[in-house]
Structure 1
Amino acid sequence: MSGPAHRPGEHVRPPGGAAALVCGETVGEDRVDALLAAAPPRDREGRPESLARAERQRRRWATQVVVVDELARRACAERGTAPPQEVPQSLLPAVAAGDVADLGSIVAVALARSPAARALLASLEGEQEVPEWAVREYYGNNRDRFLTSDALRRGVEPFDEATPEDFLPYERVREGIVRELRRAAGRRAFFDWLDRSRSAVVYAEGYEHPGDPAHPDHEHRH
């Protein structure tokens, strides 16, 4: 059952020590604490005020990773997709305090940590249809990627002096192109899903997105 509706940007602290509400249900602070403990910061130098700010941002960053995992678990349940086995803690990457506002790092660590996020990405990738025209267009527009070994040794310019014999045949590289285009489309679908799903999240104060301008020390980097 969904909880009460909240206005976008409204700060709440649900009972029970929650970091966020996802579809009205609580995501506990303990899950954020567990990620922070599993991925301790590498940066321990600097002024106390700078370190305090970095730690506040790191907590917000960790909340985003946990929220992506929770959203992915729900999406997998709706799709009937079973996530694979959990990742051993020893394989989780350490996270530097200076990287906490990097959106790419949020998704990268979520995928490294969350079996549900990986399962969802794989499912979305498998659903992507790659039309033949797109494969042929890629082959034609990226001729430098399909030079033969001999042509590479001779330093052939793929868009100038090359002849048809200087390129790998389309039939030989087609499946690889399909896999690459399907993978890219799957990633776009994953990011589209995540953007839509985040609208169902309400964060407790101190757990907002690190790039949210509503809090004073926000930071947004790519």
Structure 2
Amino acid sequence: MTPTDQLSPSQTLTVAETAVADLGSIVAATLAHSPAARTLLADLEGEQHVPETSVQDYYQRNRDRFLTPEALRRGIDPFGVTAPQDFVPYTHARDSITHELRRAAAHRAFFDWFDRARAGVEYAVGHEHPGDPSHPDHEHRH
């Protein structure tokens, strides 16, 4: 899905379960139904700077994510005795790590914006979102 997708009123977007788990249901629904929210998130992602040292640190701390298929088949413990050929080289992993860290930073920036944007919202009685922790009965269902 691109930020500029236009939906007709009769179209329903589905949200992947992983997106709901990663983003939370309120944010996932907002992104699913608002081209403006998707555009903002894409813009925020483009604005994020990820230092090279952060990318290198991520690669070193998450060695298990960069085992080669052969090392996985052999059952190599990424935090035990390994050889350099057991891992995808940093130069091959760098771009995907940078993308992942940039996306995570954009999500944090979007969550901050979203929290500020809805800070003053008051829901009509009976129409509170079931997942809104500011509501005393936030576990109710519609």
- What TM-score comes out, normalization by structure 2 length? 0.78
CA contact (8 A) 1:130 1:181 kept: yes
Distance in 1 between residues matched to 2:105 and 2:138, nearest whole Å: 31
Structure 1 position 132, deviation (Å): 0.7
Match of 2:12 in 1: 91
Structure 1 position 140, deviation (Å): 0.1
Structure 1 position 209, deviation (Å): 4.3
Match of 1:198 in 2: 118
Match of 1:32 in 2: none
Q: 1:101-150 CA distances to partner (integer Å, 9 max, x unpaired)?
A: xx821211111111011111111111110001110000000101111122
**1:47-62 to 2 correspondences below 5 Å:** none
Distance in 1 between residues matched to 2:51 and 2:64, nearest whole Å: 22
Q: 1:126-178 CA distances to partner (integer Å, 9 max, x unpaired)?
A: 11100011100000001011111221121111110211121111111100100
When Rg is computed on C-alpha atoms for both structures, the one with the higher figure is 1
**1:137-216 to 2 correspondences below 5 Å:** 137-210=57-130, 211=132, 212-213=135-136
CA contact (8 A) 1:147 1:158 kept: yes
Identity %: 61
Match of 2:18 in 1: none
Amino acid at match of 1:135: V
Higher relative contact order (CA 8 A, sep 6+): 1
Distance in 2 between residues matched to 1:160 and 1:201, nearest whole Å: 52
2:97 counterpart SS class? helix
Unaligned runs of 5+ in 2: 16-22
Amino acid at match of 2:12: L
Amino acid at match of 2:45: E
- What TM-score comes out, normalization by structure 1 length? 0.52
Q: Does 1:129 align with 2:49?
A: yes
Amino acid at match of 2:58: Y
Distance in 1 between residues matched to 2:32 and 2:138, nearest whole Å: 25
- Cα 1:218–1:169 shift into 2, 3 Å: closer
CA contact (8 A) 1:87 1:114 kept: no
Count of residues in Structure 1 that have an aligned counterpart in Structure 2 = 127
